[in-house]
């Protein structure tokens, strides 16, 4: 099902000239062009010895076959395999079907040889760091495939100056990120984290009858950033009979608004003043940096909750600390902070009216798999000279 979903999302890529339609197999045509070879007849294989372990009329050993096949695949630079920061083993297996993987350690140990092989870089959890020194050392680099939507960790203008394209994976992350937004809203409203601590504490003798949360149902949700993820949040919120307001660079089409019952606020200030829950679902740019500060927090209801599933630097965290300490707003729920993780002595970590999760918006088995598939399709499209499903352009 996941493979079919990934294919449907990426079906805009045209079939290569003369390539059969692989849709019925659930194989994306761009991916299919690397690693899925056409079936040969028995007569053809016997005549040209094209089976496993052969090359023309010369029989090859298994190691020689492996080496030969790896040489045919384009080189892909990754930080590492497994461990704390490396690419997960199941994603590595997927990448190996289409690329010859080169870790950063292997690259640094043999720069002269490896630099010529690398045509792509797979950025997983913002790693490896792509700086000018790296770009200068990769003369054949054509594409950087980012796993995830946010690309604020990449200098798009600098990368573009090297003639290198950047892609991201907006389709794969929408559902999982919208889910975490709803989870944070519900957890904060009903004080789930605090309640769990009370329930399991060895010091708890009774449950206080005046320990109360607030309801999400029929409350007003203000969504700042009504892109793909923001709209998914609105779809979920409608099931709770919430009144949905949104602020966005562009107003959605009327039929899209009606489908989720959303009302457009041209001014963000109007949304802040009316909402019981304010959810940030925007990318980090120079324009959105610290878009929520002391002034904006002061406009919110004292009973309101601020939720951030975008990027930590969207919020002036010093102002947020002050607002939570002085009950300017009721609570906050953050899946992202700046930096990540916060220093262990940060004042946000000492407050009891905040929930912080470790940037897990896309941390699901399904999302990670789909991000890898979408990133692979993007990178192969660039290498094959085909239309790129999700290219990111410098502003």
To 10 degrees, the CA torsion angle through 264, 269, 275, 278? 90
Instruction: Give yes or no: 14 in active site.
Output: no
Catalytic annotation, pick one of 257, 311, 330, 374: 311
CA angle 344, 347, 349 (to 5 degrees): 55
Instruction: Give yes or no: 215 in active site.
Output: no
Distance CA 170, CA 150 (A): 9
The token pair at 251 is 């107003």
To 10 degrees, the CA torsion angle through 9, 13, 14, 16? -120
Distance CA 335, CA 325 (A): 20
Beta strands in the chain (DSSP E): 54-55, 58-59, 75-78, 100-103, 118-124, 143-147, 165-167, 220-224, 243-247, 262-264, 277-280, 305-308, 331-334, 354-356, 391-392
Instruction: Give yes or no: 109 in active site.
Output: no
Query: Residue 66: in which H helix or E strand, if any?
Result: helix 62-72
Distance CA 74, CA 62 (A): 20
Distance CA 163, CA 26 (A): 32
Catalytic annotation, pick one of 109, 136, 269, 340: 340
Three-class DSSP category at 7: helix
Catalytic annotation, pick one of 247, 330, 359, 373: 359
Catalytic residues: 311, 340, 359
């Amino acid at each position: 099902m996941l493979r079919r979903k990934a294919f449907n999302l990426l079906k805009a890529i045209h079939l290569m000239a003369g390539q059969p339609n692989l849709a019925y197999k659930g194989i994306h045509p761009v991916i299919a062009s690397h690693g899925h070879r056409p079936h040969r007849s028995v007569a053809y294989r016997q005549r040209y010895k094209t089976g496993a372990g052969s090359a023309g009329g010369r029989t090859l050993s298994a190691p020689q076959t492996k080496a030969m096949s790896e040489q045919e695949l384009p080189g892909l630079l990754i930080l590492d395999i497994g461990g704390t920061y490396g690419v997960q083993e199941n994603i590595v297996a997927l990448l190996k079907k289409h690329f010859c993987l080169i870790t950063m350690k292997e690259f640094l140990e043999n720069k002269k040889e490896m630099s010529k092989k690398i045509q792509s870089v797979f950025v997983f959890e913002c790693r490896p760091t792509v700086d000018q020194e790296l770009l200068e050392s990769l003369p054949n680099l054509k594409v950087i495939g980012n796993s995830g939507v946010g690309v604020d960790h990449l200098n798009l203008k600098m990368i573009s100056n090297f003639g290198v394209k950047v892609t991201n994976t907006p389709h794969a992350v929408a559902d999982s990120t919208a889910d975490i937004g709803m989870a944070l809203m519900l957890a904060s409203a009903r004080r789930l984290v605090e309640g769990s601590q009370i329930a399991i504490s060895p010091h708890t003798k009774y449950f206080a009858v005046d320990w109360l949360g607030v309801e999400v149902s029929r409350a007003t949700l203000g969504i700042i950033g009504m892109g793909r993820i923001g709209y998914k949040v609105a779809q979920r919120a409608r099931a709770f009979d919430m009144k949905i307001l949104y602020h966005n660079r562009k107003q959605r089409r009327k039929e899209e608004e009606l489908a989720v019952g959303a009302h457009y606020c041209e001014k963000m200030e109007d949304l802040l003043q009316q909402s019981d829950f304010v959810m940030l679902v925007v990318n980090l740019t120079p324009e959105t940096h610290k878009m929520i500060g002391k002034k904006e927090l002061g406009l919110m209801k004292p009973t309101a909750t601020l939720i951030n599933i975008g990027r930590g630097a969207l919020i002036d965290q010093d102002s947020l600390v002050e607002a939570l300490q002085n009950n300017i707003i009721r609570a906050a729920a953050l899946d992202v902070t700046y930096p990540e993780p916060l220093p262990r002595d940060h004042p946000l970590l000492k407050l009891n009216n905040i929930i912080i999760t470790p940037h897990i918006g896309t941390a699901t088995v399904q999302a990670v798999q789909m991000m890898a598939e979408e990133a692979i399709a993007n990178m192969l499209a660039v290498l094959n000279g085909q239309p790129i499903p999700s290219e990111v352009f410098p502003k």
